[in-house]
Amino acid sequence: MPVLMKKETRLLHAGRNPERYHGAVNVPVFRASTILLPSVAAMESGGRSLFEGVRYGRFGTPTTFALEEAVAELEGGVRTVATSSGLAAISGALMAFLKSGDHLLMTDSAYAPTRKFCDEILAGLGIETTYYDPLIGSDIAQLMRPNTRVVFTESPGSLTFEVQDIPAIATAAHEGGAIVMIDNTWGVLNFQPFEKGADISIQAATKYIVGHADAMLGTITTASEALWLKVKSSVAAFGHSPGTEEMYLGLRGLRTLPVRLAQHEASALTLTRWLEKRPEVERVLYPALESDPGHAIWKRDFRGACGLFGLILKPASKAAVDAMLDGYHHFKLGFSWGGFESLVIPTGGHSIHRTATQWRPTGPSLRFHAGLEAVEDLIDDLEHGFQRLADHS
């Protein structure tokens, strides 16, 4: 076997075992709750071995283990736990390490449901969250307390696109005795979290890993076996196990992730460069652009980008912006991202809920996902949109 294999190649092999499945290229969909065990002794063995091998559907089947192996490869981590959604991965990872009386540092740019989980569920359990400026860097040391257990990052923020200095944050967090988690959904293949100091990396696999807008799935990958066991125990205790069909779709999506992602990135670059020059546009939020404030850190830490970017328009009426969005042919209105189809959402009018920092763009803000349509068609769609914006102003 060749010694060197690039990540794209390794992702084609990861988790597969055709010899075991009659030569079938893909790992089958295992439909199982009950697993028949050979003896009472096997049944009674508890503890850690509960999570090794196939024992009960909720703890995982060969389909689960194939997906987990492949995602560990993608993230460059030691082991992965699959969950029923991206949000279940976030809540599952947080609950594995936080208990009453603990303190959590959460980026102010976090995905809104992550914030809601902290404010509603963690607060109710006596776990305190302090939000911090995503651009804080090593100054996060000043926010660390003796009971700070977790520092949570998301880079770039999926609505506001601030690129975080993960190595600086991780160094300070580790010095203070906390572990570092990252929501790596935007970075997916292009940010190697463990090389940059993270201990736990989360994917909303619903987005680029599944890649076709047809399944909900999440993953939690860890830097060590010991962290994995904590996460696995917690996720199993909550019962966050994903459906087998969803895991199959995740595995299937993963094989083509590198080529899809390259196209999403290329289209987003073309679109953002075009948008930057438009008179209707105040600012484009996309770290791969040289003009983006996060570009230097992005260039240092990422090996590429994806199809998701933000846009701040010059001041315009809501009616005009709504007409622009309602009339798009290719940029459909819908939540989520990472599928083959282009999407757009308005991102909270003139402000986004923040507590540590302010987010007050000077005009309407939007978020786009560049899908796999020909980029000429997407530009044409945007151009007609600006015409509607003008017509309704």
Ligand X SMILES: *Cc1c(COP(=O)(O)O)cnc(C)c1O
**Residue 126, class by beta-carbon neighbours within 10 Å (0-12 exposed, 13-18 middle, 19+ buried)?**
exposed
Question: 197, 203, 96: which is closest to 158 by C-alpha?
Answer: 203
Annotated active-site residue 303? The verdict is no
Residue nearest to ligand X (CB): 86
Tell me which amino acid residue 286 is. Answer: Y
Q: Which of 204, 249, 251, 366 binds ligand X (CB under 6 A)?
A: 204
**208 catalytic residue (yes or no):** no
Instruction: Considering the complex, state which of residue 82 and residue 324 has its C-beta at the smaller distance from ligand X.
Output: 82
By CB under 6 A, the residues from 320 to 359 that bind ligand X are 336
Q: Which is nearer to ligand X, 177 or 334 (CB)?
A: 334
Residue 162 engages ligand X in binding (rule: CB under 6 A): no
Q: How is residue 50 written in tokens?
A: 């509960």
**How many residues in the shown chain lie near ligand X by CB under 6 A?**
14
Catalytic residue among 183, 199, 292, 301: 183
The three-state (H, E, C) secondary structure of 59-78, written as one string: HCCHHHHHHHHHHHHHHCCC
Dig out the tokens for 59 from the structure. Answer: 């703890």
Q: Based on the residue annotation, tell me whether 131 is a catalytic residue of this protein.
A: no
Quick one: 93 or 144, whose CB is closer to ligand X?
Answer: 93
Among the residue ranges 79-87, 137-145, 253-261, 349-357, the one whose residues contact ligand X (CB under 6 A)? 79-87
Q: Does 206 bind ligand X (CB under 6 A)?
A: yes
Q: Is 58 labeled as catalytic in the residue annotation?
A: yes
Q: Which of 20, 31, 58, 318 is catalytic?
A: 58
Cβ(275)–Cβ(284) below 8 Å: yes
**By C-beta, is 328 or 337 nearer to ligand X?**
337
Exposed, middle or buried, 370 (CB in 10 Å: 0-12/13-18/19+)? buried
Contact code string over 110-129 relative to ligand X, x by CB under 6 A: -x------------------
Site mask for ligand X (CB under 6 A), range 137-156, x = bound: -----------------x--
Rounded CA separation 5/194 (Å): 19
User: Are the C-beta atoms of residues 109 and 82 closer than 8 Å to each other?
Assistant: no
Nearer to ligand X, 130 or 336 (CB): 336
Task: Give yes or no for a contact between 67 and 221, defined as CB atoms under 8 angstroms apart.
Answer: no
256, 249 contact by CB (below 8 A): no
Nearest to 229 by CA among 46, 42, 51: 51
Kindly state whether residue 63 participates in binding ligand X, applying the rule CB under 6 A. Answer: no
Confirm or reject binding of residue 222 to ligand X (CB under 6 A).
no
Closest approach of Cβ 181 to ligand X, in Å? 12
Choose among 342, 281, 278: nearest CA to 308. Answer: 342
Residues numbered 282 to 311 that lie near ligand X (CB under 6 A) are none
Q: How far is the CB of 207 from ligand X (least distance, A)?
A: 6
Alpha-carbon Rg for the chain, nearest whole angstrom, is 22
Helix (H) or strand (E) run with residue 234 in it:
helix 225-238
The least CB distance from residue 214 to ligand X, in Å, is 12
- Window 177 to 196, contacts with ligand X (CB under 6 A): 183, 185
Q: Are 122 and 169 in contact (CB under 8 A)?
A: no
CB of residue 161 vs ligand X: minimum separation in angstroms?
11
- Determine how many CB atoms are found less than 10 A away from the CB of residue 368: 26
List contacts with ligand X (CB under 6 A).
Answer: 85-87, 111, 154, 158, 183, 185, 204, 206-207, 216, 218, 336
Residues forming the active site:
58, 111, 183, 207
